[in-house]
């Protein structure tokens, strides 16, 4: 396993305690220039208000993890298009995205509240608003709870009760199942906790049809099996952070070759689910070819990572698999939408 101990800090901003001042520090300070001070125009009243508003709002927005929400919503719209066998009403799409995005934001904020102790320890998360003190834990908890109530109420009354219930399940899986129970106890935390990230496909399908079917279950499987090969490369890069925080991500407790081997297995299962959509969801051979090509490419990237993990002379390049996983899921989603609108 490629574990290294953190190097001692060489931050030039940290001086030695009790050290003698440098010659420059001992030199007398120069006299200030004689004459009027340069004129600096005060910021306009409107600009000052906007700057203060950004300073207040930005930390709360950061707590919602907007980039994570964006990735979750990538799978929602294609699922809705597939469920409607065409373009669903734009009002319904907007309402579902708002409700689903707000539910995800609520879960992310509450995750930050519960993980604020380890966010201070991990370099990757030390600049989060709760870790820096920009937002108090109480204020963040209230914010997360308000978002959750808003999301579930919106989905219940504007979309339908089934979508609201599925969103509630997703929030419980992420906040309670993953954050509170699994994350600090088992290396399989991201596997089972990652089920929360699969729920948008079920929410999207139910928003159109009012129920569920085998097609969204297969889409759930695609995202479920995609999650470990997506997240574990990131854990490889930040393994020392997770180890310092006491979070037993699989790359922290297992050899890189074992992690990469499991990633290959999950990728294969993901590809199988994506191809089963052809007979189950009625997608065409065009989607089948695209899904097979994308799946083969991503699976090969996991196999290449396994080969690198077994050869200590080669760089691991785990983050290339992480970025490739995002490309895979995005293009597969585009392929589903495009196939629905094919004229044959």
pLDDT confidence of residue 289: 98
Q: Is residue 7 part of a domain?
A: no
91 lies in the same domain as 126: yes
Containing 20, the helix (H) or strand (E) segment is: none
202 closest CA partner among 179, 231, 173: 173
Predicted TM-score (pTM) of the model is 0.84
State which residues form the domain around 204. 62-209
CA angle 238, 239, 245 (to 5 degrees): 95
Task: Tell me whether residue 136 is in a domain.
Answer: yes
pLDDT single digits (tens) 112-150 = 999 999 999 999 899 999 999 999 999 999 999 999 999
How many angstroms separate the most distant Cα atoms in the chain?
A: 84
Chain centroid, CA 218 distance in Å: 21
Residue 263: both structure tokens together = 């990633």
Q: How far apart are CA 333 and CA 78, in angstroms?
A: 6
Q: Kindly state whether residues 228 and 269 are assigned to the same domain.
A: yes
What burial class does residue 299 get, using C-beta atoms within 10 Å of its C-beta: 0-12 exposed, 13-18 middle, 19+ buried? buried
- Give yes or no: residues 66 and 204 share one domain: yes
pLDDT reported for residue 50: 79
How far apart are the C-alpha atoms of 226 and 203, rounded to whole Å? 18
Rounded-to-integer distance, Cα 29 and Cα 215, Å: 75
Helix (H, G, I), strand (E, B) or coil at 175: helix
DSSP state for residue 181 in the 8-state scheme? I
Angstrom distances, CA of residue 101 to CA of 60, 95, 189, 277 = 15, 10, 23, 25
**Same domain assignment for residues 74 and 204:** yes
Residues 255 and 310 in one domain: yes
> How many structural domains compose the chain?
2
Cα–Cα distance for residue pair 253/210, rounded to 1 Å: 43
If asked whether residues 198 and 66 sit together in one domain, one would say: yes
Q: Which residues contact 334 (CB under 8 A, 6 or more apart)?
A: 78
Mark whether 160 and 235 lie in a shared domain: no
Count CA atoms closer than 13 A to 49's CA, side-chain side. 3
> Which of 171, 193, 209 is a domain's end point?
209
Give residue 3's pLDDT: 43
CA distances, 314 to each of 76, 262, 319 (Å): 38, 20, 14
Q: Where residue 69 sits, what CATH number does that domain have?
A: 1.10.357.140
CATH code at position 266: 1.20.120.1780
Task: Please check whether residues 182 and 221 belong to one and the same domain.
Answer: no
| Whether residue 204 sits in one domain with residue 226 | no
Instruction: Give the residue ranges of the chain where pLDDT is below 50.
Output: 1-35, 37
């Amino acid at each position: 396993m490629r574990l290294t101990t953190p190097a001692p800090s060489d931050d030039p901003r940290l001086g030695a305690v009790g050290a003698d001042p440098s010659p420059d520090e001992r030199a007398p300070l120069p006299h200030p220039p004689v004459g009027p001070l340069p004129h600096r125009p005060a910021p306009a009243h409107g600009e000052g208000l906007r700057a203060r508003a950004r300073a207040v709002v930005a930390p709360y927005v950061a707590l919602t993890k907007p980039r994570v929400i964006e990735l979750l919503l990538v799978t929602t719209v294609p699922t809705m298009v597939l469920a409607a066998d065409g373009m669903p009403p734009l009002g319904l799409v907007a309402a579902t995205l708002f409700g689903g995005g707000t539910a995800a934001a609520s879960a992310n904020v509450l995750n930050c509240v519960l993980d604020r102790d380890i966010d201070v320890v991990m370099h990757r998360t030390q600049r989060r608003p709760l870790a820096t003190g920009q937002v108090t834990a109480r204020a963040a908890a209230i914010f997360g709870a308000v978002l959750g109530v808003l999301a579930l109420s919106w989905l219940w009354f504007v979309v339908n009760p089934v979508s609201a219930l599925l969103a509630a399940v997703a929030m419980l899986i992420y906040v309670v199942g993953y954050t509170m129970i699994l994350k600090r106890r088992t290396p399989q935390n991201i596997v089972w906790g990652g089920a929360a990230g699969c729920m948008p496909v079920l929410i999207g399908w139910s928003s159109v049809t009012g129920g569920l079917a085998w097609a969204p279950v297969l889409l759930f499987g695609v995202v479920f099996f995609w999650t470990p090969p997506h997240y574990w490369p990131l854990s490889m890069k930040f393994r020392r952070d997770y180890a310092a925080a006491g979070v037993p991500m699989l790359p922290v407790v297992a050899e890189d070759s074992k992690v990469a081997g499991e990633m290959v297995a999950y990728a294969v299962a993901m590809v199988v689910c994506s191809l089963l959509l052809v007979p189950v969801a009625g997608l065409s051979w065009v989607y089948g070819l695209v899904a097979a090509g994308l799946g083969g490419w991503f699976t090969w990237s996991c196999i290449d990572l396994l080969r690198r993990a077994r050869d200590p002379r080669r760089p691991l390049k785990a983050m290339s698999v992480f970025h490739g996983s995002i490309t895979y899921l995005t293009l597969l989603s585009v392929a589903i939408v495009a196939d629905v609108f094919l004229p044959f």
